[in-house]
Amino acid sequence: MKISEMNWKDVEAAAARDPRCIVPVGSTEQHAQLSLCVDAILAEKVAVDAAEPLGIPVFPVMPFGLAPYFEAYPGTISLRVETLLAVMRDVLVSVRRSGFRQILIVNGHGGNSPVSALAQELMADWGDVSIKYHEWWKAPRTWEMVQQIDPSGSHANWMENFPWTRLAHAPAPEGEKPPFDMGLMKASPPAQGRVLMGDGAFGGPWQRPDDQMQALWDSGVAETRDALEGPWPDLGA
């Protein structure tokens, strides 16, 4: 149930019958030959696919996150830490005001980890809301599958190359990208980081067979649905 397909009365009724909702969070940043919006696309799609059989509302994805290390790549948008936290605070305040008390944040970008601390802070302040922070690709079974397929799985390589993140005009290169000095990249300003990263992928194969990717996706959806289904704390206790 996408919020974009609901009106305010629908939301009021949804919150009255079930306290759960999902807030997806992504990023707009370079992903080599893939869409700049990979993280936003994946966060929203895994949330919708997980929630649909349960009839749980999914809010529109937050498309911007923390990506200062990619700022030398055109199209990348990076918020300041305080900006992201301020926006997410306001979003969660509004979601609570709408009546939802069990909120699953589905994150699609590793750089957004400060949002997890914000969730803990808000739960301490409010006392009547449970917030889970779920990084879908790092959930235990899904991450184990990544390691089984190819332990090189990382940013902008095969691990994020799904049919729904590809661009028809920019096919994946053949073969594998050799590794580079990741530690040096993390210690470099964006311009020097771009020199080290080249196309922006973090190394390894650019693409894996679609049957493997579908199996990986199914695992991510299943674990996201598990997080949504609970257990949730008894806030009335």
For position 237, what pLDDT does the model report? 53
Per residue in 176-214, pLDDT tens?
999 999 999 999 999 999 999 999 999 999 999 999 999
Omega within 30 of 0 (cis) for the link into 163: no
CATH code of the domain occupying 3-229: 3.40.50.10310
**CA of 184: how far to CAs of 85, 190, 195, in Å?**
28, 11, 11
d(CA 223, CA 80): 30
The percentage of the chain sitting over the pLDDT mark of 90, rounded to a whole number, equals 97
Amino acid at 201: A
The percentage of the chain sitting over the pLDDT mark of 70, rounded to a whole number, equals 100
Write 175-184 long-range contacts (CB < 8 A, 24+): 175/205, 175/206, 176/152, 176/203, 176/204, 176/205, 176/206, 177/201, 177/203, 177/204, 177/205, 177/206, 178/203, 179/203, 179/204
Per residue in 70-123, pLDDT tens?
999 999 999 999 999 999 999 999 999 999 999 999 999 999 999 999 999 999
pTM of the model: 0.96
Per residue in 30-64, pLDDT tens?
999 999 999 999 999 999 999 999 999 999 999 99
Q: Is the dihedral of CA 81, 83, 86, 89 positive or negative?
A: negative
Average pLDDT over residues 16-29: 98
